[in-house]
């Protein structure tokens, strides 16, 4: 015992080492081998389970009783919870109703007023911009400590009660008014647009710099102009340039900023805008996106719509109110002039309308030269490659391409811009930078209703069936509408652009089938349709000009009239498949592992997926269910129809027993005319005249495509290659047959091969 204790921890170190040595020298005793589990059953569960008391039937009953008591307690608690919910429900509804009343009092319609005098804790005298002073009550939830004479307050429109106090920075004038002295832009920064520059000079610059010229002429100068066209074509740039040229004060405001939250603020803002303009005269008031406030008026019960109309009426009043010879000129800009109220842009208010189209080749070349004038370009840069491209690039697009090309060069630490930089910049601008708002011609603040209206108008205009060669624009318009009409897609696009839509896996649907999904939730459940049948039909130019009734004998595939598409000799010989129960498919279970089965759907082997079994064969179609047949198709060719136009007959294609008939499409092909040549709605004619006629004049009678005789009279000299334009003698417009294009007559001189002596003299 003493030796064993010496080896314990804490004993003397010498004794511990001696005991270890004795143990090594002492021979080991025989010990039995460790037990194995061979032939023994493995004990399940932890060791503590051995100490559990034995379980008898009475014990199990007690456990079940305890379980049932717990279930009973849970059901009682659930019943009590439901009773409490029913008891509290009327109180919650009452509280919700009270909160609704408070929100109704605090909510719109409200307008802004000024506190003149406090009578007592509950009453005050206020003044508004829309009427006289009022004796009003102060609601209990208004902080009385913030009320002082001269402060801005919120007044409920119906109850005439003070419902809130506005801070000083809540005045809309603080955030809206933008007073700019002498903009730095000039006419040299405007690429092309010579006609537009000339028109705005006559309407804005000349009245501000030389008003006496209008007095001498005896006319009144224009009050204002409106600039309209697609976005990015230089409307704002030109407005700033004319302000710089005249050294006038430039006041810029966006139309959407004139629409304020509170009643009366919009008209007040318009009045203040023109007051500031008169105080800082000569001045130019530039209202961008005027369509946000100047849309056509209609009857509406919405307070917001009525406030917009009040703002526009105040704008009309200001346009009529100030002196026409005053030093205040108004310039408006919009992308959708067709949506404006006619009263806003009528002569007398807006005297000149200036259109800004997409730049032509000459203008694009000028814009590229302006934006690359200060850039260092490598020798391989060919700007003509981008100028002559068929992409619809605006001035803003060209500026973005030049800026992006410079950024690509800086990324690689180069001070010279190479041609590849411009190509990558153009690809990035046209693919990743697609502006859906620009495509539809709407502002970013446009509502769903405005976006839908713009889409309907543009889809009608660019649909390939109505306007030749506009399929690309139609697809772009449809893609833009699919994004902007969906709230989630529009949110992603506004935040991340088109690249965000691609990363979010948003797919565009077929633009020509955009409305087909409205009738079914699953496109797979819609009826299958057979292939289309295209037939090319040739017409003369006279037939396209005058219109013609056309009959054609069509040989097409039809359902067998005997078996009516069953393929059987008798209807009783067609039985429903008993294997698949007429579905054409069957469910097969296959064991892939013990206890695991895989269920698959396969085509029925008995009926081969048809769902029916035919026991006989039709003698007429030999069981094919279809045969060839003929049918006469009659249609009227409209006046002004064009080459390549498609006339669609729905369901007149080849018939199929298991799917509906496809469409029959006639494709118009124009036979070249001997004399007339057509381009769109215009006609071109080459006329040969003699040398004498070219010098002395002539009179010609030309037979038109409808048989009418046109008399052309020329006096004086007609040079070689001279083109004469004749209005309303071209092709009829396809959609508006009463309107016609132009007839262009190009004159060629037949010079004599040999002159006689008299002619020489």
Q: By CB neighbour count within 10 A (0-12 exposed, 13-18 middle, 19+ buried), where does 423 fall?
A: middle
What are the angstrom distances between the C-alpha of 723 and each of 14, 568, 683?
A: 130, 70, 12
Q: Could you give the 3-state DSSP secondary structure of residue 35?
A: coil
Maximum pairwise Cα distance, the chain: 163
Residue in the block written with tokens 């009453």: 123
**Cβ neighbour number for residue 382 with a 10 Å cutoff:** 12
**What confidence category does residue 752 fall into, taking pLDDT thresholds of 50, 70 and 90?**
confident
Q: What average pLDDT score do residues 631-646 get?
A: 82
Same domain, 216 and 155: no
Quick check: 164 pLDDT over 70? yes
Same domain, 378 and 405: yes
**What confidence category does residue 218 fall into, taking pLDDT thresholds of 50, 70 and 90?**
confident
Residue 277 neighbours by CB under 8 Å, 6+ apart? 249, 251, 283, 285, 328
* pLDDT number for residue 371: 82
Distance from chain centroid for Cα 147: 47
State the total domains in the chain: 7
Distance from chain centroid for Cα 373: 35
Same domain, 186 and 334: yes
Q: What is the CATH number of the domain that holds 696?
A: 2.60.260.20
Same domain, 515 and 544: no
Point out which residues pair with 665 in neighbouring strands.
534, 648
Single residue among 336, 356, 376 that ends a domain in this structure = 356
Q: What is the dihedral of CA 237, 239, 244, 250, to 10 degrees?
A: -120
Same domain, 344 and 424: no
pLDDT digit string, tens, across residues 457-472? 787 777 766 645 566 6
Q: What average pLDDT score do residues 695-702 get?
A: 88
Q: By CB neighbour count within 10 A (0-12 exposed, 13-18 middle, 19+ buried), where does 286 fall?
A: buried
**Cβ neighbour number for residue 299 with a 10 Å cutoff:** 6
Same domain, 411 and 274: no
Same domain, 257 and 181: yes
Q: What average pLDDT score do residues 102-107 get?
A: 53
* pLDDT number for residue 358: 80
57, part of any domain: no
* pLDDT number for residue 466: 60
Quick check: 329 pLDDT over 80? yes
Quick check: 519 pLDDT over 50? no
> The tokens of 171 are what?
């005045």
Same domain, 628 and 691: no
733, part of any domain: yes
* pLDDT number for residue 522: 40
Same domain, 144 and 289: no
CA distance 613 to 387: 67
Q: What average pLDDT score do residues 291-315 get?
A: 67
Q: What average pLDDT score do residues 17-37 get?
A: 63
CA distance 629 to 633: 13
Same domain, 189 and 282: yes
Q: By CB neighbour count within 10 A (0-12 exposed, 13-18 middle, 19+ buried), where does 563 fall?
A: buried
4, part of any domain: no
pLDDT digit string, tens, across residues 248-300? 777 888 777 676 545 556 777 787 778 878 877 788 888 888 887 777 765 44
| Closest residue by Cα to residue 137 from 118, 124, 127 | 124
129, part of any domain: yes
Same domain, 351 and 366: no
% of the chain with per-residue pLDDT over 70 = 76
Query: H-helix or E-strand containing 588?
Result: strand 585-593
Q: By CB neighbour count within 10 A (0-12 exposed, 13-18 middle, 19+ buried), where does 86 fall?
A: exposed
pLDDT digit string, tens, across residues 490-518? 877 776 666 566 544 454 554 444 444 33
From 276-280, 300-304, 636-640, 755-759, the region with the lowest mean pLDDT: 300-304
Mean pLDDT of all residues in the chain? 76
pLDDT digit string, tens, across residues 121-150? 888 888 876 567 888 888 877 888 888 887
Q: Are 641 and 734 within 8 A, CB to CB? A: yes
* pLDDT number for residue 171: 47
* pLDDT number for residue 8: 45
Q: Are 365 and 383 within 8 A, CB to CB? A: yes
* pLDDT number for residue 22: 62
pLDDT digit string, tens, across residues 528-549? 677 888 888 888 988 888 888 8
8, part of any domain: no
Q: What average pLDDT score do residues 601-606 get?
A: 80
13, part of any domain: no
* pLDDT number for residue 561: 79
Same domain, 366 and 350: no
Query: H-helix or E-strand containing 667?
Result: strand 664-670
C-alpha count within 13 angstroms, C-beta hemisphere, residue 40? 7
% of the chain with per-residue pLDDT over 90 = 1
* pLDDT number for residue 517: 38
Q: Are 256 and 443 within 8 A, CB to CB? A: yes
H helices present in 339-418, as ranges:
361-371, 384-387, 395-411
* pLDDT number for residue 58: 67
Overall pTM > 0.85? no
What are the angstrom distances between the C-alpha of 169 and each of 152, 178, 276?
A: 10, 16, 19
* pLDDT number for residue 345: 79
Q: Are 322 and 328 within 8 A, CB to CB? A: yes
**Backbone dihedral angles phi then psi of residue 590, each to the nearest 5 degrees:** -130, 130
* pLDDT number for residue 169: 45
* pLDDT number for residue 744: 92
| Closest residue by Cα to residue 252 from 343, 353, 183 | 183
pLDDT digit string, tens, across residues 340-398? 878 777 777 787 888 888 888 888 888 888 888 888 888 888 888 888 776 677 777 88
Q: Are 604 and 581 within 8 A, CB to CB? A: no
Residue in the block written with tokens 């314990």: 8
Q: What is the CATH number of the domain that holds 157?
A: 2.40.50.140
| Closest residue by Cα to residue 233 from 423, 365, 367 | 367
Single residue among 303, 327, 356 that ends a domain in this structure = 356
* pLDDT number for residue 172: 46
Q: Could you give the 3-state DSSP secondary structure of residue 646?
A: strand
CA distance 628 to 632: 14
Quick check: 4 pLDDT over 60? no
Residue 325 neighbours by CB under 8 Å, 6+ apart? 207, 211, 214, 220, 221
149, part of any domain: yes
Single residue among 83, 99, 115 that ends a domain in this structure = 99
Q: Could you give the 3-state DSSP secondary structure of residue 85?
A: helix
Q: Are 321 and 275 within 8 A, CB to CB? A: no
Domain hosting 708: range is 676-760
49, part of any domain: no
């Amino acid at each position: 015992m003493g030796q064993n204790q010496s080896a314990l921890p804490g004993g003397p170190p010498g004794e511990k080492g001696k005991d270890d040595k004795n143990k090594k020298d002492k021979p080991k005793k025989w010990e039995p081998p460790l037990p194995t589990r061979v032939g023994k059953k493995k004990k399940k569960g932890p060791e503590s389970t051995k100490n559990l008391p034995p379980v008898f039937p009475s014990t199990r009953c007690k456990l079940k009783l305890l379980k049932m008591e717990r279930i009973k307690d849970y059901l009682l608690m659930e019943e009590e919870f439901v009773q409490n919910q029913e008891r509290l429900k009327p109180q919650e509804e009452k509280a919700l109703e009270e909160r609704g009343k408070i929100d109704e009092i605090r909510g719109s319609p409200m307008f802004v007023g000024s506190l003149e005098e406090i009578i007592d804790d509950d009453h005050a005298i206020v003044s508004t911009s829309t009427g006289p002073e009022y004796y009003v009550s102060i609601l209990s939830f208004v902080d009385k400590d913030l009320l002082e004479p001269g402060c801005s307050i919120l007044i409920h429109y119906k109850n005439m009660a003070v419902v809130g106090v506005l801070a000083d920075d809540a005045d809309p004038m603080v955030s809206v008014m933008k007073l700019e002295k002498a903009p730095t832009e000039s006419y040299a920064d405007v690429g092309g647009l010579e006609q537009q520059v000339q028109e705005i000079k006559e309407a804005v610059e000349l009245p501000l710099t030389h008003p006496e010229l209008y007095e001498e002429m005896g006319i009144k100068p224009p009050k204002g102009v409106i600039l309209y066209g697609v976005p990015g074509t230089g409307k704002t740039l030109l407005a700033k340039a004319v302000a710089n040229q005249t050294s006038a004060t430039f006041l810029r405001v966006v139309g959407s900023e004139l629409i304020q939250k509170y009643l009366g603020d919009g008209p007040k803002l318009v009045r203040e805008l023109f007051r500031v303009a008169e105080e800082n005269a000569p001045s130019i008031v530039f209202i961008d996106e005027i369509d946000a406030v100047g849309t056509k008026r209609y009857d509406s019960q919405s307070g917001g719509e009525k406030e917009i109309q009040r703002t526009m009426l105040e704008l009309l009043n200001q346009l009529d109110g100030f002196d026409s010879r005053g030093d205040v000129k108004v310039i408006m800009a919009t992308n959708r002039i067709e949506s404006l109220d006619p009263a806003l842009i009528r002569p007398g208010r807006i005297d000149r309308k200036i259109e800004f189209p997409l730049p032509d080749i000459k203008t694009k070349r000028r814009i590229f030269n302006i934006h690359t004038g200060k850039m260092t370009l490598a020798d391989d840069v060919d700007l003509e490659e981008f100028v002559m491209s068929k992409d619809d690039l605006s001035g803003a697009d060209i500026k973005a391409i030049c800026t992006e090309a410079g950024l690509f060069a800086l990324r690689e630490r180069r001070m010279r811009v190479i041609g590849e930089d411009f190509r990558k910049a153009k690809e990035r601008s046209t693919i990743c930078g697609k502006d859906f708002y620009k495509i539809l011609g709407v502002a970013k603040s446009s509502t769903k209703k405005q976006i839908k209206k713009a889409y309907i108008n543009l889809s009608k205009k660019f649909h390939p069936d109505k306007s030749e060669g506009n399929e690309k624009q139609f697809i772009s318009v449809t893609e833009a509408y699919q994004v902007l009409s969906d709230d989630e897609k529009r949110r992603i696009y506004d935040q991340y652009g088109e690249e965000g839509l691609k990363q979010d896996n948003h797919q565009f649907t077929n633009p020509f089938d955009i409305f087909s999904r409205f009738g079914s939730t699953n496109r797979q459940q819609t009826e299958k349709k057979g292939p289309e049948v295209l037939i090319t039909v040739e017409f003369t130019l006279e037939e396209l000009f005058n219109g013609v009734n056309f009959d054609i004998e069509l040989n097409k595939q039809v359902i067998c009239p005997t078996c009516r598409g069953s393929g059987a000799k008798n209807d009783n010989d067609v039985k429903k498949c008993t294997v698949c129960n007429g579905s054409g498919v069957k469910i097969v279970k296959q064991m892939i592992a013990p206890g695991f089965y895989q269920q698959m759907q396969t085509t029925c082997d008995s009926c081969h997926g048809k769902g029916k079994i035919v026991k006989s064969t039709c003698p007429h179609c030999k069981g094919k269910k279809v045969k060839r047949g003929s049918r006469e198709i009659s249609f009227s060719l409209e006046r002004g129809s064009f080459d390549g136009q498609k006339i669609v007959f729905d369901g007149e294609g080849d018939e199929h027993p298991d799917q509906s008939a496809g469409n029959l499409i006639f494709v118009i092909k124009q036979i070249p005319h001997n004399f007339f040549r057509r381009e769109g709605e215009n006609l071109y004619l080459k006329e040969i005249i003699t040398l004498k006629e070219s010098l002395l004049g002539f009179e010609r009678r030309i037979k038109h495509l409808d048989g009418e005789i046109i008399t052309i009279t020329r006096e004086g000299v007609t040079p070689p290659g001279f083109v004469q334009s004749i209005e309303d003698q071209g092709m009829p417009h396809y959609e508006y047959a009463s309107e016609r294009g132009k007839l262009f007559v190009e004159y060629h001189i037949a010079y004599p091969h040999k002159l006689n002596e008299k002619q020489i003299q």
